[in-house]
Amino acid sequence: MIDSIRKRITYANVVATLALFLALGGAAVAATHLPRNSVGPNQLKRGAVTAAKIRKQAVTSGKLAPKSVVNGKLAPNSVTPGNIGNGAVTTAKLADGSVIARSIKNSVVTTNKLNSGAVTTAKLGDESVSGAKLANGSVTLAKLSEDVTPLVGTLKSGQTLRGVFDVGGIEVVRGAVSFQFPLLNPATATLLKPGETTANCGGLGGGNEQTPQATAGNLCVYVTETVGSSPGMAIEHNTRLGFGLKTSGSAAEDVAISGLWAVTAP
Q: What is the pLDDT of residues 154-177, one digit of tens each?
A: 888 899 999 999 998 887 888 999
Backbone angles phi, psi at 14, to 5 degrees: -65, -45
Q: What is the CATH number of the domain that holds 226?
A: 2.60.40
User: Does residue 213 contact residue 201 with C-beta atoms inside 8 Å?
Assistant: yes
- Cα–Cα nearest to 164, from 221, 114, 117, 116: 221
Same domain (yes/no): 113, 186: no
Cα(176)–Cα(181) distance, integer angstroms: 15
pLDDT digits (tens, 9 = 90+) for 52-89: 777 777 777 677 777 676 666 666 766 666 767 777 77
User: Does residue 176 contact residue 226 with C-beta atoms inside 8 Å?
Assistant: no
> What local confidence, expressed as pLDDT, does residue 17 receive?
63
> What local confidence, expressed as pLDDT, does residue 149 receive?
55
Same domain (yes/no): 140, 116: yes
Does the residue 205 lie in any domain?
Answer: yes
More confident residue, 31 or 259: 259
pLDDT digits (tens, 9 = 90+) for 2-55: 566 555 666 666 556 655 555 555 444 444 566 776 676 677 777 777 777 777
The bridge status of strand 160-170 relative to strand 254-264 is antiparallel
Residues 6+ apart with CB under 8 A from 105: 77, 79, 80
Query: Where is 168: in which H helix or E strand?
Result: strand 160-170
Same domain (yes/no): 85, 126: yes
**Total number of domains in the chain:** 2
Statement: residue 133 has pLDDT above 50: yes
